[in-house]
Structures are given as structure tokens and as C-alpha cells.
Amino acid sequence: MPTSRMLRRATPWLMLAPSLLVLVPFFVLPIAIMFRNSLARDNPATGMLMPEITVANYARILGDWFYAQIFLNSLAASFGVALLTLLIGYPFAYYLARWAGRRWLPVLMWVVYMPILVSVITRVFGWIVITADSGILNGLLLGAGILREPVRILFDISGMTIGMVHRYLPLMILPLANSIAKIDPRVLAASTSLGASGRDTFLRVVLPLSLPGVVAGFQLVTAVVLSDYVLPTLMGSTRFRILAPAVFDEAIGSVRWALAASLAMVMLAIVAVTMVALNLAMRRLAPWARGL
């Protein structure tokens, strides 16, 4: 009997063990090392870290308008891309959850998963071919007489935004579709039977009940945009710098590892605060959605 009781108590930990073996050495430990490095001091002469404990790096980051602009750019890009993916992905997710039959559902799911399955580098080069000054899009617009000269898309904020929306749209569609699919059809039927129009049913029933999916998708997209390095580097502009490329430039370009670690820790803090703020906002604005 004692042995079986001990086994029952140990079972949850045994189930957690594989994940802990991955998370602790490859996630928690690197973050701890990075936090320790962020409290050190850079030695410009040797490019090495001086074993000190100081908050000078954080004071420099938070007190310099150059870095403040990077934070503002990153937040603007993350919320802008999340909003665009929400506006584009919600109708698709609604169709996926409510109207797609067994015949078209696998095809549509394949369409959603394709941007995730294809390498980001392959997709970037595809977008370069399409959005370059001499690319397919400008060629079509010039040939149709809509434009007289090529419009600047690639290596600009617009090109970076297009690439991010394409890459992260599935992260918005999948939570939305899952949340909409959980809405009881009897609730929609009750709304209709009580005289609500299709528009009122959507605004007062479907949209509020799908808020958990909206928040989950917004959190996912915001977090990955804040930490994206490839798309801002290959499709963005140096006039609009965001966090991940800035961390790389400080570490590799300027060989300031302590300052780069401080930037990375602030980036993680921004992601964490954004996640918590969105959860708190949903609990305050939509308390009925907690258990959905």
C-alpha cells in the first residue's frame, strides 16, 4: 500500500520529467546565464565581460532615447502585425470552424500549415522576388499603368510587415478556429430564435465568446514578432530597428555582450508583461470567457 501511494505521488513528476529535462538546461539555465551577464560590465579593450555586478547597462538602456526608440518600434511592429493577422485571420478561422465541410477542411488546414512547414529563408526569398523594385508585384502594377515608377516595398517597413503577417498568420488562425469551434451551436440558435440578426449574433455572441482565441493568438503573434530576427534583417530597414537585430548588433557587431544581454532581458520582460497584460484585460473585459 505505501508503495502504491508513493507511485501515485511520483507519477505526475515522472510525466513532467521529459519536459523538465529539456526546459531546465536549454531554457532556464541560458536565461539565468544571460541575466548574470547583463549585470556584468563590458571591457572595450578585450571584448570580454568584467566580473562585476552593476545595473549600469539597464540604466543606459532605459535612459537612452536610441534604445527607447527601438522598444517603441518593436512594440508598434508587434501590435501592428498582431492586429493585421487578427483582421485577416478571423474571417478565415470563422469559416474554418463553422462552414468548412469534411471535404474542404483538410485542404484549408493544409493551407494554414504551409507557411509553418516551409523554411522562413525560402519564404523570404520568395517575397524578395515578389516585392523587389523590379519584382513581380511592381512589374504587374507598372504594366497595368497603375504606377509610373516602382513603389518601395522591399527593405522597408511595409515589406517587413508583409513577411511577418504571412509567417505568423497561422498562429492567429489556429487559436481563433479552436475558440470559435467550441461555441455551442444551441447558443447561436437561441440568439436567432430571440430575434437577433446575424450581425447582432456575431457582435454579441460569437465575438465575445471567441475572445480567448483572440487573446491567445494576439499573445503568440506579439511574442514571436518581438523576438524575430530573420524577417527584420532580410526584409526590413535599418531606419526602423527592432529588438532582436539590435541585440545581435550589440553582441556581434559592437562586441558588447553585457549590453546585449541587458537588451535581451528587457525584451523578455516586455514579452512577459504583454502576456500578463492581455490576460488581465480579458479577465476584466470578458469575465465570462475565463472558463472557455
Burial class (CB in 10 A: 0-12, 13-18, 19+), 7: exposed
Contacts of 113 (CB under 8 A, 6+ apart): 170
Q: What is the pLDDT of residue 289?
A: 61
Q: State residue 60 phi and psi, 5-degree precision.
A: -65, -45
Range in 48-57, 66-75, 155-164 with the lowest mean pLDDT: 48-57
Burial class (CB in 10 A: 0-12, 13-18, 19+), 218: buried
Contacts of 31 (CB under 8 A, 6+ apart): 268
pLDDT, average across residues 250-273? 89
Asked if the model's pLDDT at residue 18 lies above 50, the reply is: yes
Q: State residue 150 phi and psi, 5-degree precision.
A: -60, 140
Answer with the residue of higher pLDDT: 77 or 106.
Answer: 77
pLDDT, average across residues 130-156? 84
Taking the C-alpha atoms of residue 76 and residue 235, their distance in angstroms, rounded to an integer, is: 17
Cα–Cα nearest to 153, from 134, 173, 172? 134
Residue pair 192/202 in contact by the 8 Å Cβ criterion: no
Q: What is the pLDDT of residue 260?
A: 92
Q: What is the pLDDT of residue 165?
A: 93
Q: What is the pLDDT of residue 288?
A: 64
Asked if the model's pLDDT at residue 84 lies above 90, the reply is: yes
Q: What is the pLDDT of residue 292?
A: 52
In the chain, what are the domains? Answer: 29-63 (no CATH), 65-113+164-260+267-289 (1.10.3720.10)
Cell, residue 4: 502504491
Per residue in 26-51, pLDDT (tens digit) is: 888 889 999 999 999 888 777 788 87
Burial class (CB in 10 A: 0-12, 13-18, 19+), 232: buried
Per residue in 183-227, pLDDT (tens digit) is: 888 888 888 888 888 788 888 888 888 888 998 999 999 999 998
Q: For all residues of the chain together, what is the average pLDDT?
A: 86
pLDDT level of residue 1 (50, 70, 90 thresholds): very low
pTM metric for this prediction: 0.86
Taking the C-alpha atoms of residue 152 and residue 69, their distance in angstroms, rounded to an integer, is: 23
Q: What is the pLDDT of residue 147?
A: 76
One-letter amino acid identity for 281? A
Q: pLDDT above 90 covers what percent of the chain?
A: 27
Residue pair 245/168 in contact by the 8 Å Cβ criterion: no
Asked if the model's pLDDT at residue 89 lies above 80, the reply is: yes
Residue pair 226/243 in contact by the 8 Å Cβ criterion: yes
pLDDT, average across residues 242-250? 91
